[in-house]
Amino acid sequence: MTLPLVLTRSENIVWAVAPEQPYRPASILEQIGNTPLLDLSFLVDRPGVELYAKAEWFNPGGSVKDRAALRMIEDAEQTGRLTPGQTIIDATSGNTGIGYALIGAAKGYAVHLVMPANVTVERKALARAYGAQIIESDPLEGSDGAIRLAREIVAAQPGGYFYPDQYNNDSNWRAHYDTTGPEILCQTNSRVTHFVAGLGTTGTFMGVGRRLKETSPAIQLVALQPADELQVIEGLKHLESSLVPGIFDPSLVDRSLPIEAGDAWEMTRRLAREAGLLVGFSAGAAVHGALQVANRLDSGVVVTLLPDGGAKYLSLGLFE
């Protein structure tokens, strides 16, 4: 039986938690989800506008991708597409791969991850720490090159791998439809008026967006992308020049905002130094985009999502 979520507050953090019940030891996988909502309204210039952000690095693998990784693996187990002895393989820029590696270690699966060679050393090290094997793809081809290489590897050995294919797997967005979306509604007392998020696999945007729109069609969904194919923002895709994920439905997008990499870098540093939030590059992009939305409103509750923490990006010199 799933207990209803209730709100609990600690200063400027809102949690969505189950009512008090007798304590029982939990598995690491049960810690995925139910992340806090942080109040970033002090960044907004409009007094009638509130800005909140989901702190997704509170997930045990350190990112929002833990949610989708767990759902894709457990759905595959339940349908028989993943069986003991198979190896999990997928293309990833890092965070989903770390999620697969953590979950594979907890469940006893070998994990192979196809990553662009220029992925940060921290993300590779974290995946390897959980026992995953890294297969590097051409750094110049980005995530699309990793996808193509993963497909080639699976085609050469069809029975030995389970290939979640996160870009085309409905379990990706369903994870957010069933968890992230309801958490946002609970934590804002259903007052959310705008949801702002970047597009990568597009699973977060699709799942949260569908859940929010079912609650209130008036809620505005704002999608963030790099301004062009030359703007590199970790975790985001410029869809016009990339392989478009099969789970992406453009009709759900109310508004698209282009983000310059320089603006994302600046906001990422600002969040660390002015708010004590050490977050990743895509989180800086998310807050920059959310502020653009918030500062054009007279009233509203804007929610965005901070996909991961900044510790995975220290080698880039981002905070120096």
Q: Which of 56, 13, 17 is nearest to 37 (CA)?
A: 13
Q: What is the rounded average pLDDT of the residues 151-179?
A: 95
Average pLDDT taken over every residue of the chain: 93
pLDDT confidence tier of residue 1, bands split at 50, 70 and 90? very low
Considering only residues 306 and 20, tell me which one the structure prediction assigns the higher pLDDT. 306
Using the predicted structure, report yes or no on whether residue 106 has a pLDDT greater than 90.
Answer: yes
Report the range of poorest mean pLDDT among 16-20, 37-41, 143-147, 180-184. 16-20
Identify the pLDDT of residue 132: 98
Considering only residues 200 and 18, tell me which one the structure prediction assigns the higher pLDDT. 200
137, 171, 282, 312: the active-site residue: 282
Q: Which of 248, 255, 287, 312 is nearest to 52 (CA)?
A: 287
Q: What is the rounded average pLDDT of the residues 98-122?
A: 96
Using the predicted structure, report yes or no on whether residue 188 has a pLDDT greater than 80.
Answer: yes
54, 65, 237, 312: the active-site residue: 65
Identify the pLDDT of residue 19: 66
Using the predicted structure, report yes or no on whether residue 305 has a pLDDT greater than 80.
Answer: yes
Please state which of the four CATH numbers 3.10.105.10, 3.40.50.1100, 3.40.50.720, 3.80.10.10 is assigned to the domain occupying 65-168: 3.40.50.1100
Using the predicted structure, report yes or no on whether residue 147 has a pLDDT greater than 50.
Answer: yes
216 is catalytic: no
User: What distance in Å separates the CA atoms of residue 74 and residue 221, rounded to the nearest whole number?
Assistant: 28
Q: Is 275 exposed, middle or buried (0-12, 13-18, 19+ CB in 10 A)?
A: middle
Identify the pLDDT of residue 2: 45
Report the range of poorest mean pLDDT among 15-29, 120-134, 162-176, 278-292. 15-29
Q: What is the rounded average pLDDT of the residues 297-309?
A: 97
Using the predicted structure, report yes or no on whether residue 96 has a pLDDT greater than 90.
Answer: yes
Q: What would the pLDDT profile of 204-259 be if each residue is shown by its tens digit?
A: 999 999 999 999 999 999 999 999 988 888 889 899 988 899 999 999 999 999 99
pTM of the predicted structure, to 2 decimals: 0.92
Using the predicted structure, report yes or no on whether residue 114 has a pLDDT greater than 90.
Answer: yes
Please state which of the four CATH numbers 3.40.50.2000, 3.30.70.100, 3.40.50.1100, 1.20.1260.10 is assigned to the domain occupying 6-59+173-316: 3.40.50.1100
User: Where would I find the H helices in the chain?
Assistant: 65-79, 95-107, 121-129, 142-156, 170-175, 181-187, 203-215, 261-275, 281-294
pLDDT confidence tier of residue 13, bands split at 50, 70 and 90? confident
Q: What would the pLDDT profile of 252-300 be if each residue is shown by its tens digit?
A: 999 999 999 999 999 999 999 999 999 999 999 999 999 999 999 999 9
Report the range of poorest mean pLDDT among 12-16, 104-108, 258-262. 12-16
- Ranges of each domain in the chain: 6-59+173-316, 65-168
C-alpha distances out from residue 121 to 77, 124, 304, 313, Å: 31, 5, 27, 8
Q: What is the rounded average pLDDT of the residues 179-195?
A: 98
How many CA within 13 A on the CB side of residue 68?
Answer: 32
Same fold, 6-59+173-316 and 65-168: yes
Using the predicted structure, report yes or no on whether residue 310 has a pLDDT greater than 80.
Answer: yes
Burial 226-244 (b: 16+ CB within 10 A, else e): beeeebebbbbbbbeebee
